[in-house]
Amino acid sequence: MQQFDAVVIGAGAAGLFCAGVAGQRGLKVLVIDHAAKVAEKIRISGGGRCNFTNRDLDPRQPHKHFLGENPNFCRSALSRYTPADFIALLQRDGIPFHEKHKGQLFCDRSADDIIQLLLRECEQGGVTRWQPCGVQAVRHGAAGYELDTDQGTVQSRALVIATGGLSIPKIGATDFGYRIARQFGLKIVEPRPALVPLTFDGTAWAPYAGLAGLALPVQIETGSKKERMAFLEDLLFTHRGLSGPGVLQISSYWKPGTPIRINLAPEQDLATRLAEAKLHSRKLIANELATLLPARLAEAWASQDPAWQRPVNEAADKALAVLAQRLSAWELTPTGTEGYAKAEVTAGGVDTRELSSQTLEAQKQPGLYFIGEVVDVTGWLGGYNFQWAWSSGHACGVAMDQALRAD
Confidence of residue 224 (pLDDT cuts 50, 70, 90): confident
Is the model's pLDDT at 406 over the cut of 90? no
Is the model's pLDDT at 197 over the cut of 90? yes
Distance, CA of 222 to CA of 23 (rounded, Å):
44
Question: Could you tell me if 185 and 365 are in contact, meaning their C-beta atoms sit under 8 angstroms apart?
Answer: yes
- Please report the pLDDT score of residue 257 as a whole number: 95
Question: Could you tell me if 47 and 382 are in contact, meaning their C-beta atoms sit under 8 angstroms apart?
Answer: no
- Please report the pLDDT score of residue 206 as a whole number: 87
Instruction: Give the mean pLDDT of the chain.
Output: 96
Give the rounded percent of residues in the chain with a pLDDT score beyond 90.
Answer: 94
- Please report the pLDDT score of residue 405 as a whole number: 82
Q: 170-180 burial, b for 16+ CB within 10 Å, e for fewer? A: eebbebbbbeb
- Please report the pLDDT score of residue 203 as a whole number: 84
Is the model's pLDDT at 252 over the cut of 80? yes
Residues 170-191 have a mean pLDDT of 97
**Could you give the domains of the chain?**
2-193+344-406 (3.50.50.60), 197-338 (2.40.30.10)
- Please report the pLDDT score of residue 227 as a whole number: 85
Confidence of residue 41 (pLDDT cuts 50, 70, 90): very high
- Please report the pLDDT score of residue 207 as a whole number: 87
Question: Could you tell me if 50 and 42 are in contact, meaning their C-beta atoms sit under 8 angstroms apart?
Answer: yes
Distance, CA of 85 to CA of 191 (rounded, Å):
30
Residue 16 carries which side chain, given as an amino acid letter? L
Distance, CA of 347 to CA of 194 (rounded, Å):
6
What angle (nearest 5°) sits at the alpha carbon of residue 18, between those of residues 16 and 20? 70
pLDDT in tens, 57-95: 999 999 999 999 999 999 999 999 999 999 999 999 999
Q: How many CA atoms lie within 13 A of 87 on its CB side?
A: 16
Q: Please report how the helices 13-24 and 384-406 are oriented relative to each other, as an axis angle in degrees rounded to 10.
A: 30
Q: Which residues pair with 192 in a beta bridge?
A: 347
